[in-house]
Amino acid sequence: MAESPALLTVVEHLPGHTLAKYIARIYDADFWKPLLPLRTPIFEKNSPTSFHFRVDDQVILDPTGYLSSEFRGEGIISVKDLGDQGEKGYLWEVKITLTLNNMTAPTNILARVRARDDPNIRSLKLGIFVFELDYPHNLRNSLNKDAIFFGIRVYLRQLLQKAAKLP
């Protein structure tokens, strides 16, 4: 059965980085803390494959920076190692459950992170593919899907830009 197309895709090359580094540190909370594009007063490991986090930030939702929203919440990030996929690279499945701004229904995100070394340019090719995004009904009434996807894309690009600067 073929996989459905991603709702959102962000792919970058990280010069000087290697797949081995990411495989070795993907479950290390200290590795992720400097990468997160949001203010996270809490980001800690709560099991071998998951992290608990709290965010307190303001999110920009349009290219002009005029439309923004308070972004407070907490949740769980679970990472499942799907291993080496041959030519396509290494694959992880990431599930994020986030309860925002005292909403009763959580936001759920299912993404896949794919990475492979590109020896021709000595870099790591890293892609983040969002396959599911389920957010509360009352958030749908205040923000349209395009604004939410714009915000997610901006913050994923920031995460990858920060990753490119890691030693």
Residue 42's φ and ψ, nearest 5 degrees, are: -130, 130
**Mean pLDDT, residues 138-152 taken together:** 67
Coil, strand or helix: which one is 45?
strand
Q: Is 131 in contact with 111 (CB distance < 8 Å)?
A: yes
Residue 115 confidence class, pLDDT cut points 50, 70, 90: very high
The total number of residues shown for the chain amounts to 167
Cα 49 to its chain centre, rounded Å, is 15
Q: What is the pLDDT of residues 21-57, one digit of tens each?
A: 999 999 998 888 888 767 777 889 999 999 998 888 7
Coil, strand or helix: which one is 7?
coil
| Domains present along the chain, CATH in parentheses | 8-165 (3.30.530.20)
